[in-house]
C-alpha cells in the first residue's frame, strides 16, 4: 500500500501514482552548482459510489493543492517517506504547486463513480556555499601616452596645423573594475591592485551593492561592483585581473 500526503491532506491509499520525478542542478556563470531543483508529476484516481461524492472529493483535493509551501511525500507500506518526497522547510520559499488538480475528458462512467486527475509540484533547494562566487568579472584598463609629452593641435586661420607640446612627459592611468555575486549576504570586492596610487579624487574608489535576487521572497544571490582609478608617473607593473 502507498499513500500520498500534501501538508495535512491525506489522499486515499493507492490512489496517487508518481508519473515523473526529476532532480536537476542549476549552475552559476562560474560553473559552480547554485541550486537543486526537484519536480514531481503525479496522477490520481477518485473512486466513490456517487457522482456527488466524486465531485466533493475532487473539490477537497483542489482546495488542498491551492496552497503552496506544504511538504509532499509518498509513503511506503510502513508509513515511511520514500525518495519521492519534497520537504518544504528546507527548500527556498517552500514547495510550489505548478499544476493544480486537473482532468481532461469526462465521459461515460468517468465523473459518475470515478474521476482521473493529475497535478505537479516543484521545489528549489540551496546548494552553493554562502561565500562561493556565483559570478565574477574584473578587468584592468590601462590608459597612457607611454610617458611621452602631451600635445595639442592648434588650427590657425591661415596656414598648416600646429602641433605643440604642453608638457615634457605624461603619466599612466589604470582603472580596475568588476562585479561579483554570491549566495550569502555582504559580498566583499577584491582589494585594489595599486593601493598607494589612487588618482586622488573622491570618485577614485567606488563600491556599489547590487540588487538582491530572490525566489518567492527568499534572497538567493547578493552582488557588489567596484571601480578603482589609479595614476602613476611610471608604468604599472605586476598586476592582472582577479578571478574566483
Q: Is residue 239 part of a domain?
A: no
Is residue 238 scored above 90 in pLDDT?
no
Backbone angles phi, psi at 161, to 5 degrees: -60, 150
For the chain, give the mean pLDDT.
Answer: 93
Note the pLDDT of residue 1.
67
DSSP state of 158: S
Counted domains in the chain:
2
Rounded CA-CA distance 92/110 in Å is: 38
Q: Do both 107 and 140 map to the same domain?
A: no
Pick the last residue of a domain from 70, 92, 126: 126
Cβ partners under 8 Å of residue 185, min gap 6: 130, 219, 222
Q: Do both 100 and 143 map to the same domain?
A: no
Pick the last residue of a domain from 103, 126, 149: 126
Rounded CA-CA distance 242/244 in Å is: 7
Q: Do both 150 and 48 map to the same domain?
A: no
Global confidence as pTM: 0.80
Rounded CA-CA distance 33/23 in Å is: 13
Pick the last residue of a domain from 98, 126, 154: 126
33-64: per-residue pLDDT in tens? 999 999 999 999 999 999 999 999 999 999 99
- Grid cell for residue 33: 552548482
DSSP state of 149: P
- Report the DSSP beta bridge partners of residue 225: 179, 208
Helix residue ranges, H only, the chain:
51-64
Q: Residues 24, 33: contact at Cβ < 8 Å?
A: no
| Mean pLDDT value of segment 146-174 | 88
Amino acid at each position: 500500500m502507498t499513500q500520498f500526503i500534501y501538508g495535512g491532506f491525506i489522499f486515499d491509499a493507492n490512489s496517487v501514482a508518481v508519473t515523473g520525478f526529476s532532480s536537476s542542478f542549476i549552475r552559476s556563470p562560474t560553473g559552480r552548482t547554485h541550486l537543486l531543483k526537484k519536480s514531481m508529476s503525479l496522477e490520481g484516481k477518485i473512486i466513490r459510489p456517487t457522482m456527488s461524492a466524486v465531485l466533493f472529493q475532487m473539490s477537497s483535493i483542489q482546495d488542498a493543492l491551492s496552497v503552496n509551501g506544504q511538504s509532499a511525500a509518498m509513503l511506503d507500506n510502513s508509513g515511511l517517506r520514500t525518495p519521492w518526497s519534497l520537504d518544504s522547510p528546507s527548500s527556498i520559499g517552500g514547495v510550489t504547486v505548478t499544476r493544480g488538480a486537473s482532468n481532461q475528458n469526462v465521459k461515460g462512467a468517468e465523473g459518475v463513480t470515478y474521476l482521473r486527475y493529475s497535478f505537479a509540484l516543484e521545489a528549489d533547494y540551496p546548494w552553493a556555499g554562502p561565500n562561493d562566487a556565483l559570478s565574477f568579472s574584473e578587468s584592468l584598463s590601462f590608459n597612457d601616452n607611454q610617458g611621452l609629452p602631451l600635445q595639442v593641435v592648434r588650427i590657425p586661420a591661415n596656414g598648416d596645423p600646429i602641433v605643440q607640446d604642453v608638457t615634457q612627459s605624461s603619466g599612466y592611468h589604470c582603472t580596475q573594475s568588476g562585479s561579483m555575486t554570491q549566495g550569502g549576504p555582504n559580498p566583499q570586492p577584491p582589494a585594489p591592485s595599486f593601493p598607494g596610487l589612487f588618482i586622488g579624487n573622491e570618485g577614485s574608489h567606488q563600491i556599489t551593492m547590487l540588487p538582491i535576487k530572490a525566489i518567492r521572497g527568499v534572497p538567493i544571490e547578493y552582488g557588489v561592483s567596484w571601480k578603482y582609478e589609479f595614476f602613476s608617473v611610471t608604468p604599472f607593473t605586476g598586476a592582472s585581473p582577479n578571478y574566483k
